[in-house]
Structure 1
Amino acid sequence: MLKFCRIAAAAIVFASAPVLAASVAEEAQALLNQGNAADALRKVETHLQANPQDAQARFVRGLALVRLNRTEQAIRVFADLTRDYPQLPEPYNNLAVLYAQQGDYERARDALEAALATHPSYATAHENLGDIYAALAGASYNRALMLDPGNGALRRKLSLVGQLDNAPSDPATTVAAPAPRAAAPVASAPALAPAPATIPPPAADIDAATTQAVTATLAAWSQAWSGKNLEAYFALYAPDFLPEGSLSRGAWEAQRRDRISRPKRISVKTVNPQIARTSDGLRVSFRQDYESDAFSDQVAKTLELKQVGGSWKISREYTR
């Protein structure tokens, strides 16, 4: 679970009016803690009109933008802070969280490594960097399993990654009280990649290898959707996949591209998958937990799978 941080007042050397600057930032932070992000943003933006280089107020502005789901603006705030105050690790950390929410794990890793270059003892950045490496490992193992579904060693590695505590949470709804040192206290923020799907117990007529291969396909599907990786997402559908609702394949793909690309953040989890045989393949039924920056729901989802070129592909998809 990647963690946002709050900048401590002691970490900033203010160029002018330090008491007033700290007061404005602290008042805005209190509004954030009360869930009033819009008022917090107005307060710091009014202050920044006269004090544009107040680093602490700029930092709180970034947190307020995160709460308001204005992610691109928040990224610009934290990126500007890393350029103007490269000695501070906290802006790098929060920049990494936002990159990870967008599925850009390489840039998230680079930001965290920059934070640790300035403060090697910054525990939050070390923890977040571990989560980033776990997400990168899970994505790589899933891609490898798509190419080699019979590889037992890969399945064991994927299972180990899936046991890590990197489940998504709500974005920075609370901020902890100031710690006695400048390395900031933290609040929970979401990791972008969901953990791989739990492997269900095999049905009586389905062997363990098939169960694991289907589970790997399901995990790759949810991760491609969550990461808005359209190429990987569409590659999991069979060439003869027929969408529900009389849509053509082309119209369905155009619709999916729009719906997947539009949100700033997506999380898709597959819960309690159950696998059964059909006349020409397999059926996997599960609870789908979907969340984006603007919408969330839970539905009963079914995917029907068939083997294509040695891999399991989606031939039908429907909600019941």
Structure 2
Amino acid sequence: MSRQPVPRRRPPPPAASEVTAAQAVKSAVQDWAAAWQSLDIPRYLDAYSDGFTPANGATRAQWEQGRRARITGKQRITVTLQQLELSLDGEQATAKFQQIHAAGDLRSTPRKRLSMRNEGGSWRIVRESTGS
């Protein structure tokens, strides 16, 4: 008597709303990187929540001033995201990825983590860290 293989149980597919939210988060992260790469400072800064907390303890205004100074005047910036992983929890999301960044003589490839929140239908960055 031969034994029939036991079928593996598949996890249930994600709910349509989860898929849509994941796509929206992914799109927001990609748009943030594209804005940075295209030197579009208003669009880049708009990717951040008004409640964004800079990691270095600066105020939002100080952080914005620093970002403008680093981006303005660059001839070219390239930003590539690899190994993008997303996790969602209601109106909160986390994006983790390898960021490949080049501007002038600067080259960096840190692991990056963006904590995001859905604000009126737009996913915005509330916290950003490297090395995670």
Under a length normalisation based on structure 2, what TM-score does the superposition of the two structures give? 0.82
- The structural deviation recorded for 1:279 is 7.6
**3-state DSSP class of the match of 1:207?**
helix
- The structural deviation recorded for 1:278 is 4.8
Deviation digits for residues 104-146 of structure 1 (CA, Å, limit 9, x no counterpart): xxxxxxxxxxxxxxxxxxxxxxxxxxxxxxxxxxxxxxxxxxx
More helix as a share of residues: 1
Contact 1:287 1:298 in 2 (8 A): yes
1:230 aligned to which of 13, 38, 41: 41
Matches within 5 A, 1:73-88: none
Could you list the runs of 5+ residues in structure 2 that have no partner in the other structure? Answer: 1-12
- The structural deviation recorded for 1:276 is 1.2
Contact 2:35 2:41 in 1 (8 A): yes
1:311 aligned to which of 119, 122, 128: 122
Contact 1:263 1:294 in 2 (8 A): no
Larger relative contact order (Cα-Cα within 8 Å, sequence gap ≥ 6): 2
Instruction: Report the identity percentage.
Output: 27
Deviation digits for residues 36-82 of structure 1 (CA, Å, limit 9, x no counterpart): xxxxxxxxxxxxxxxxxxxxxxxxxxxxxxxxxxxxxxxxxxxxxxx
Equivalent pairs counted in the alignment come to 118
CA distance in 2, matches of 1:314, 1:283: 9
RMSD: 1.9
Under a length normalisation based on structure 1, what TM-score does the superposition of the two structures give? 0.35
CA distance in 2, matches of 1:256, 1:222: 14
Letter in 1 for 2:130: T
- The structural deviation recorded for 1:290 is 0.2
Report whether the alignment pairs 1:285 with 2:96: yes
The worse-fitting range, judged by mean Cα deviation, of 277-286 and 287-296 is 277-286
Deviation digits for residues 139-163 of structure 1 (CA, Å, limit 9, x no counterpart): xxxxxxxxxxxxxxxxxxxxxxxxx
More strand as a share of residues: 2
Could you list the runs of 5+ residues in structure 1 that have no partner in the other structure? Answer: 1-202
Report whether the alignment pairs 1:261 with 2:91: no
- The structural deviation recorded for 1:239 is 1.0
